[in-house]
């Protein structure tokens, strides 16, 4: 008679729990990425945006008004994020936080929330089991479904973030220091009115391509490594052990550390594949945004329309990029310069965000039934 074990459902929540809104899960992941970036930046003594590419740098003004940062003194706790904020509040009052720090912080969190929430909704529509409020999706979504959902979510994010990108590329901290704008709120309102819709969406094609393709690979890689690769490893590892030591049928519960390891690997692979696309496109985008900024400045001085310059902006950006690539030995050398360093810096916060994203998805899901993987004369039980 085959050996059996009692199947126990995963604890931590009964099947009667009311499913929570996917917005909570998306917000948790977005917040975790921002928090992870802050903690890692503090640990490595470097700016936050070096670890996680924030759309709007909310520490730009605090750094600009800090004399130690401007004097390029040796790093100390006074140059950490809390230290910079304490100095800013001490000299400019508590209103500095809601006027200069809170607006870009809210903008970054909102964009991240939209990305994760959109992804969950779209994945559920493309892969029916993913729409169920269970702790573990079975069968797991294929790479194609996760890639499509991620690409669509990235496109939505790029559309919502277009005004933020337009504001960030035109931002000059000197305008704040000279009193031209009293707050980020005033700067955003004035600048958006000044550049109009055409200015906001100039260069949007590059942003759409970068976010859509990058997020597709990001979520596709994450889901694939987290589940398909994990399941394949379990069948290979425990199947090999069974063939060596046992002949009767048994139920196996995998070691508790295996799944967290694959979750970390999933975050790492997601970050690397996303950067493989977004890093080179960001190089081109930076050149293009610089050109757009020059066009805006010239048209403002000449009191002339910039429509003609906008029409040829992509063509001239390509020519400028080609010149820069030629100087360093080709497109590959130029596009991927600094790729390894930037990717390694981004991995910790990205992996942390994805882990919290996954934990939140499971926390607010019903326990459901244990997943049993049948392999030869054994059952691998995931409870």
Least confident of 98-102, 178-182, 211-215: 178-182
pLDDT at 126 over 70: yes
Least confident of 111-120, 246-255, 337-346: 246-255
Q: Give the pLDDT band of residue 32 (cuts 50, 70, 90).
A: low
DSSP designation for 364: T
Query: What is the structure's pLDDT at 301?
Result: 66
Does 8 reside within a domain?
Answer: no
pLDDT at 266 over 60: yes
Average pLDDT of the chain?
79
More confident residue, 187 or 41: 187
Separation between Cα atoms, residue 204 and residue 125, nearest integer Å: 27
Q: How many residues does the chain have?
A: 383
CB 383 within 8 A of CB 253: yes
Cis peptide before 139 (omega within 30 of 0): yes
Alpha carbon distance, N-terminus to C-terminus of the chain: 24
Does 231 reside within a domain?
Answer: yes
Does 19 reside within a domain?
Answer: no
More confident residue, 257 or 27: 257
CATH code, 346: 1.50.40
pLDDT at 205 over 50: yes
Does 140 reside within a domain?
Answer: yes
pLDDT, mean of residues 306-320: 79
Query: What is the structure's pLDDT at 368?
Result: 59
Query: What is the structure's pLDDT at 30?
Result: 62
More confident residue, 14 or 182: 182
Counting the structural domains of the chain, the total is 1
pLDDT at 44 over 50: no
Does 2 reside within a domain?
Answer: no
Separation between Cα atoms, residue 151 and residue 154, nearest integer Å: 5
Does 21 reside within a domain?
Answer: no
Query: What is the structure's pLDDT at 17?
Result: 43
Query: What is the structure's pLDDT at 244?
Result: 60
Does 212 reside within a domain?
Answer: yes
pTM (predicted TM-score): 0.75
Query: What is the structure's pLDDT at 81?
Result: 86
* Boundaries of domain holding 177: 35-242+251-382
């Amino acid at each position: 008679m085959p050996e059996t074990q009692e199947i126990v459902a995963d604890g931590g929540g009964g099947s009667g729990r009311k499913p929570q809104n996917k917005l909570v899960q998306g917000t948790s992941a977005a917040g975790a990425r921002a928090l992870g970036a802050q903690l890692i930046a503090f640990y490595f003594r470097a700016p936050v945006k070096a670890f996680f590419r924030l759309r709007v740098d909310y520490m730009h003004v605090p750094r600009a008004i800090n004399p130690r940062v401007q004097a390029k003194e040796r790093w100390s706790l006074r140059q950490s994020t809390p230290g910079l904020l304490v100095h800013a509040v001490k000299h400019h009052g508590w209103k500095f936080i809601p006027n200069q720090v809170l607006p870009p912080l809210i903008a970054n969190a909102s964009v991240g929330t939209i990305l994760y929430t959109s992804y969950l909704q779209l994945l559920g529509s493309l892969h029916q089991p993913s729409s169920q409020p269970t702790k573990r999706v079975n069968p797991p979504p294929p790479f194609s479904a996760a890639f499509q959902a991620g690409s669509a979510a990235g496109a939505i994010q790029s559309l919502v973030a277009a005004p933020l990108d337009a504001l960030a590329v035109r931002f000059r901290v000197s305008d704040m220091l000279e009193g031209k704008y009293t707050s980020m709120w005033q700067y955003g309102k004035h600048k958006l009115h000044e550049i109009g819709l055409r200015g906001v969406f100039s260069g949007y094609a590059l942003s759409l391509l970068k976010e859509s393709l990058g997020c597709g690979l990001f979520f596709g890689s994450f889901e694939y490594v987290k589940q398909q690769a994990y399941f394949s490893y379990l069948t290979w590892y425990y199947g090999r052990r069974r063939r060596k030591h046992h002949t009767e049928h048994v139920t196996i519960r995998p070691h508790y550390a295996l799944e967290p390891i694959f979750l970390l690997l999933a975050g790492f692979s997601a970050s690397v594949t996303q950067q493989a696309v977004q890093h080179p496109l960001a190089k081109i985008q930076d050149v293009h945004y610089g050109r757009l900024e020059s066009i805006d400045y010239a048209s403002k001085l000449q009191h002339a329309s910039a429509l003609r310059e906008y029409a040829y902006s992509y063509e001239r950006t390509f020519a400028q990029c080609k010149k820069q690539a030629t100087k360093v030995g080709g497109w590959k050398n130029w596009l991927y310069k600094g790729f390894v360093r930037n990717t390694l810096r981004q991995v910790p916060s990205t992996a942390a965000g994805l882990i919290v994203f996954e934990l939140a998805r499971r926390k607010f899901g019903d326990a459901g039934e244990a997943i049993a993987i049948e392999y030869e004369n054994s059952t691998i039980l995931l409870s």
